[in-house]
Amino acid sequence: MFTGIITDIGTVRSAEQRGDLRLVIGCGYDLANVDLGASIACSGVCLTVVDKGVDWFAVDVSGETVSRTAADLWREGARLNLERALRLGDELGGHIVTGHVDAVGDVFDSCAEGDSHRVGIAVPRELGTMIAPKGSIALDGVSLTVNEVRDADDGRTHFTVNIIPHTAHNSTFDDIAYGRQLNVEIDVLARYMQRMTAARAQ
């Protein structure tokens, strides 16, 4: 489990296709305190540490994960939002994030709004009932608050979030722009509520 509060930005140093895709990710973590088998969220995807060095760790990304996550993340040179797993007693500064991506969203708008940026994201319509104004959502692992939600004419659901300067500076959202794909995880509580509602309707 995670909170959606990014604690480092990693860089993919190498990407090697084996049985799965092996990534070596450079980071600023003290890896002496990271065990093999530990979970680290990489741009919203919960991955397992399978090897490590002084300033890097390695993960294996399955073909299933690659096919269901944002394009352009799993390549040499890509920057990733990193968060170590939540420990008992840690401050829950964002919201409960599982590291399981529900869909890939597309940025359709990004504009300055004061010192912040308002970003519009389009997601599959089936997620629309689980996204609510002022509710929480994780984008590339970052816990954000939804501003507005609407079902659009393109058959998808559109919603907006604001990226404040602190978030932009401490994540990969410093250069967010039109056309970028993002890993989207809806609030786990909304997921269960939707499932219970659907079950009652049957």
Short-list 117, 45, 53, CA closest to 78: 45
Return the pLDDT at 200: 73
Alpha carbon separation from 162 to 3, 106, 178, 189 (Å, rounded): 18, 15, 15, 22
pLDDT, residue 195, reads: 66
Report the distance separating Cα 164 and Cα 114, nearest Å: 9
Express each pLDDT in 67-97 by its tens digit. 999 989 999 999 999 999 987 767 777 788 9
Mean pLDDT of 134-140: 96
Q: Which CATH architecture has domain 103-201?
A: Beta Barrel (2.40)
Q: Distance from first CA to last CA of the chain, Å, rounded?
A: 31
Q: What is the mean pLDDT of the chain?
A: 93
Q: SS3 for 167? A: helix
**What's the pLDDT score for residue 180?**
97
Q: Are the beta carbons of 185 and 102 closer than 8 angstroms?
A: yes
Assessment of whether the complete model's pTM goes beyond 0.85? yes
pLDDT of residue 192: 64
141-185 residue pLDDT tens: 999 999 999 999 999 999 999 999 999 999 999 989 999 999 999
What pLDDT, on a 0 to 100 scale, did the predictor assign at position 170? 97
Fold match between 8-84 and 103-201? yes
What's the topology of domain 8-84?
Elongation Factor Tu (Ef-tu); domain 3 (2.40.30)
Q: In a 3-state reduction of DSSP, which class is residue 65? A: helix
Q: Which of 24-28, 77-81, 189-193 has the lowest mean pLDDT?
A: 189-193
Among 110, 32, 104, 34, smallest CA distance to 74 is for 104
**Domain extent listing, the chain:** 8-84, 103-201
pLDDT for 60 equals 98
- In this prediction, residues 24-29 reach a mean pLDDT of 98
Mean pLDDT of 8-25: 97
